Amino acid sequence: MNELQLQTGPYRTTYVGTELVRESTPQEWEVYGEILRRVDEAKQWAIGDWLCDGKRHYGDGLYKKASAILGYQEQSMKQFKILADSFDIKFRRLNLSWAHHQEVASLKTIEEDEDDKLSMSGDTDYETIAEMLTWAEKEGASVRDLRDSVQQYKRRQKEEIRLANEPERYSLILADPAWEYEFVESKSRSLENHYQPSSLEDMKRLRVPAADNCILFMWATSPKLCEAIELIAAWGFEYRTCAVWAKDKIGMGYYFRQQHELLFIATKGEIGTPNPENRVSSIITAPRKEHSAKPECVYEIIESMYPEYKRLEMFARDKRIGWDVWGDES
């Protein structure tokens, strides 16, 4: 208890300060500053773990006893303990801050009751937490970046619950799935700069509010054709045909630089085909706008094909008259 010493290079830190044992270089000064920052991060985890153990000894009197030792406010200590309780030490990310972990700790799973209604559960969603921390570590995301992603994910969960519990069903659904891509090379090209991706398994689990007789229009990029067909089947639809959006600008690509996108059509139950006068060319030529935005003319084509149907756009960017929408940005 009478000795604390942290020494690296020219610096030695004890209870009463940091002593310079020899002249430092700028690089050594920066390194030691990083060490002190990490020590501060480690302190929050250490206190949390210490409080978890102290619960065995002091029960409900834990925080009173701990406050007398540390001088910390009870609320701060509760935060330390909750986070330490939420993350086993082997799951904590060395390259992410305590604050990064705090941002994702509140994520919960969705549960289904005996009446087939969905609601937020009290169970921690460890799978999604791990995915988000992996993304943050890989992309060097800031705490604010991670906070935005968590908020988007929570909004998406709320919409999933609302749609699943909605008694009214839709006869026409347009979906622009938030595909995950594995080949992003740099942070500037990362899709997370534009929208929050979803895993295929997460999207397959969505309870799409489709009527017994429903038509689905689904956007898919060239690398995601297999996943799109799989998602269509998971939602209870059968693939029918597709159209091609030919863009005015060339994009990225490892083999061909992509300048087109596919619009799949799939059906569930008995759905009639459009009147002959509303059957347009399968090649839709329209300019490319901001990332993932789709041409206005496609909405007009769909509306003319099935003007009487109640319509839903999933993963929508904007609200549109005559459509119900669900999406991070809508």
Using alpha carbons, select from 313, 298, 292 the residue that is nearest to residue 243: 298
Most distant pair of Cα atoms in the chain: their distance: 89
Q: pLDDT per residue over 145-154, tens digit each?
A: 999 989 888 8
**The pLDDT value given to residue 300:** 95
Q: pLDDT per residue over 166-205, tens digit each?
A: 767 899 999 999 888 765 444 444 433 334 567 888 889 8
- Distance in angstroms between the alpha carbons of the first and the last residue of the chain: 57
Using alpha carbons, select from 40, 37, 309 the residue that is nearest to residue 174: 309
Alpha-carbon distance 264 to 21, whole Å? Answer: 70
**The pLDDT value given to residue 228:** 95
**The pLDDT value given to residue 23:** 92
Q: pLDDT per residue over 80-129, tens digit each?
A: 999 999 898 888 998 898 999 999 999 999 998 888 889 999 999 998 99
Q: What are phi and psi for residue 120, nearest 5 degrees?
A: -70, 135
pTM (two decimals) = 0.62
Q: Are 52 and 84 in contact (CB under 8 A)?
A: yes
Angle between helices 26-58 and 62-70 (to 10 degrees): 150
Burial of 12 (0-12, 13-18, 19+ CB in 10 A): middle
For 169-326, which CATH superfamily applies?
Answer: Vaccinia Virus protein VP39 (3.40.50.150)
**The pLDDT value given to residue 188:** 41
Using CA atoms, how far residue 193 sits from 122, 141, 196, 281, 289, in Å, is 30, 10, 8, 34, 16
Which tokens belong to 171?
């006869």
Instruction: Please list, in sequence order, all residues whose beta carbon lies within 8 angstroms of the beta carbon of residue 33, skipping any fewer than 6 positions away.
Output: none
**The pLDDT value given to residue 160:** 82
Q: Are 91 and 98 in contact (CB under 8 A)?
A: no
Which tokens belong to 163?
């749609």
**The pLDDT value given to residue 189:** 41
Q: What are phi and psi for residue 16, nearest 5 degrees?
A: -105, 5
**The pLDDT value given to residue 179:** 84
Per cent of the chain over pLDDT 90 is 52
Q: Mean pLDDT, to the nearest integer, of 35-63?
A: 90
Q: Taken in order 153, 159, 160, 161, is the CA torsion positive or negative?
A: positive
Which tokens belong to 165?
């519990």
Residue 236 has pLDDT above 90, yes or no: yes
**The pLDDT value given to residue 303:** 95
Alpha-carbon distance 205 to 187, whole Å? Answer: 29
- Compare 190 and 247 and report the one with higher pLDDT: 247
**The pLDDT value given to residue 192:** 39
Sorted by where each begins, the domain ranges of the chain are: 6-86, 91-165, 169-326
The helix or strand, by DSSP H or E, that contains position 112, with its residue range, turns out to be: strand 108-112
Q: pLDDT per residue over 119-149, tens digit each?
A: 999 999 998 999 999 999 999 999 999 999 8
Q: Mean pLDDT, to the nearest integer, of 50-78?
A: 92
**The pLDDT value given to residue 168:** 74
